[in-house]
Structure 1
Amino acid sequence: MSSPLHLKARALRKAQTDVEKQLWSKLRARQLQSCKFRRQVPLGRYIVDFVCLERHLIVELDGSQHISQANYDEVRTAYLQRLGFHVIRFWNNEVIENLQGVLEVINAQLDM
């Protein structure tokens, strides 16, 4: 039986935002450095937007709701870093307006 967190992750995968779909179309199928990314993955007590487990890299997309939850995001990021992951965050409008730039930043992090 799946845990509540896994069920929520499955629901989030089915209900992707347009921005998540846009970035996922560039991350899926090992398009960046042949690295496998997964989406809406439970890690510890959180669900992350995108993760490359082999490179310990998490990519998070932030919409306007994140403006009012900066402290929550900091706690969450610190927790994920303690698990050994590097977390990079992008605002939704960054993906919409500069997808190539976002991909360049992700590529650079994969090289580290």
Structure 2
Amino acid sequence: MQDEATARARELRRDGSRAERICWELLRGRRLNGFKFRRQHSIGPYFADFACISLKIVIEIDGDHHAFQVETDNRRTAAMEQDGWRVLRFWANQVVENPEGIWTEIEQALLASAPHLASPPRGRGT
């Protein structure tokens, strides 16, 4: 079962949408206030597009097809929230057209979940 989940996660990472690639560029390498994110992280039977495990925050990027699967997405979100995750959803066109706005919203959610980190981490030599 684990091998199937790993293979599916790899497939989802490989076949990510343009919006997912843009979002990953914002999140990868601890670029957002030093928080680590994972792509296609398994949560129960679902794969979160992006997950900050330390704060239990999920970021989902919804393409056009999500307009036709609202109930499915609501169940998925409810299941993740029941397991203690906070789910942030963005439309793919939001990510493509305004990555800075997405960055700000995600940063605010992270800082709200970790108020003791309201100041960005200090770099070397500062």
Short-chain TM bin: over 0.9
- Unpaired runs of 5+ residues, structure 2, are 113-126
Aligned residue for 1:10? 10
Under a length normalisation based on structure 2, what TM-score does the superposition of the two structures give? 0.85
Question: 3-state DSSP class of the match of 1:3?
Answer: helix
Under a length normalisation based on structure 1, what TM-score does the superposition of the two structures give? 0.95
The count of corresponding residues between Structure 1 and Structure 2 is 112
After superposition, the CA RMSD in angstroms is: 1.1
Question: 3-state DSSP class of the match of 1:39?
Answer: strand
- Extract structure 1 runs of 4+ deviating beyond 4 A: none
Instruction: State the Cα distance separating 1:93 from its structure 2 match.
Output: 0.4
1:32-91 alpha-carbon deviations (Å, 9 max, x no partner): 110000001111110010000001100000001100100000000000001100000000
Alignment of 1:76-91 (within 5 A): 76-91=76-91
Aligned residue for 2:34? 34
Higher Cα Rg: structure 1 or 2? 2
Aligned residue for 2:106? 106
Question: What is the aligned-residue identity percentage?
Answer: 38
| Distance of 1:108 and 1:34 partners within structure 2 | 14
Counterpart code for 1:87 = V
| Distance of 1:68 and 1:17 partners within structure 2 | 18
1:1-29 alpha-carbon deviations (Å, 9 max, x no partner): 73322211111111121111111011000
| Distance of 2:86 and 2:20 partners within structure 1 | 19
